[in-house]
Amino acid sequence: MGLRENFRAGLARQLGHPSGLRGRVVGAMLNRRNRDPVTAAVAALGLEGGETALDIGFGGGLGLALLLRKTGTVHGAEVSTTMLERARRTFRRGDPEIMSRAPLFTEHGFRIRPPATLEAALAGAGLEVRRRERLGSGRFGFHLLVSGK
């Protein structure tokens, strides 16, 4: 087998089951190359925000990220340990549960409320949540809620 065939065979293995450093590169490539069809697939679902979604074989995680923007609960199934580890790092929460355990926030009287509580309060005040978005990730990510009448 020549150099070209070896490269193609290795790429095919990584596409089927990304692993190690090469797998991380393939995951990033999958996100880039598949952006248009994955975006179209998520849009075709017509999610309105209350559904639970499942992304089977999520690879680089683009579908997970897009689904998380559309609905609150997303599950993913993936055979690649490398892609699972990447997803765990990428989609780690910086939500109120984690913040409530951080003395930097809570010991000085900073109040933390889950987004659902804020949305209910806005609705009780007659305001409609027109946009909700998770900005950033990890410990310093936050939720953006845009509301109006």
Q: Tens digits of per-residue pLDDT, 29-60?
A: 888 888 888 888 888 888 888 788 888 888 88
Report which of residues 96 and 137 the model is more confident about: 137
- And the tokens for 8? 């193609």
Average pLDDT over residues 95-101: 54
Same domain membership, residue 33 and residue 8: yes
Same domain membership, residue 47 and residue 65: yes
| pLDDT above 70 as % of the chain | 78
How many Å apart are CA 119 and CA 57, to the nearest integer? Answer: 32
| Contact of 143 with 134, CB cutoff 8 Å | yes
The dihedrals phi and psi of 95, each to the nearest 5 degrees, come to: -75, 175
- DSSP alpha helices (H): ranges in the chain? 3-16, 20-33, 35-44, 62-70, 81-90, 96-100, 103-106, 115-124
How many Å apart are CA 67 and CA 70, to the nearest integer? Answer: 5
Same domain membership, residue 97 and residue 84: no
Same domain membership, residue 104 and residue 124: yes
Average pLDDT over residues 10-20: 79
Domains identified in the chain, total number: 2
| pLDDT over 80 (residue 12) | no
Task: Give the three-class secondary structure for 22.
Answer: helix
Report which of residues 104 and 123 the model is more confident about: 123
pTM of this structure:
0.56
Highest mean pLDDT among 91-100, 118-127, 135-144: 118-127
Same domain membership, residue 74 and residue 4: yes
pLDDT averaged over the chain? 77
Same domain membership, residue 50 and residue 118: no
Same domain membership, residue 121 and residue 111: yes
Same domain membership, residue 76 and residue 54: yes
∠ CA(114), CA(76), CA(64), 5° rounding?
Answer: 65
- And the tokens for 130? 């027109």
* Per-residue confidence band for 105, with pLDDT thresholds at 50, 70 and 90: very low
Same domain membership, residue 116 and residue 84: no
How many residues are given for the chain? 149
Beta-bridge partners for 77: 56
Give residues with Cβ within 8 angstroms of 54, minimum separation 6: 74, 75, 76, 77
Residue 107 is part of which domain span?
93-149
Average pLDDT over residues 18-33: 86
Average pLDDT over residues 58-83: 85
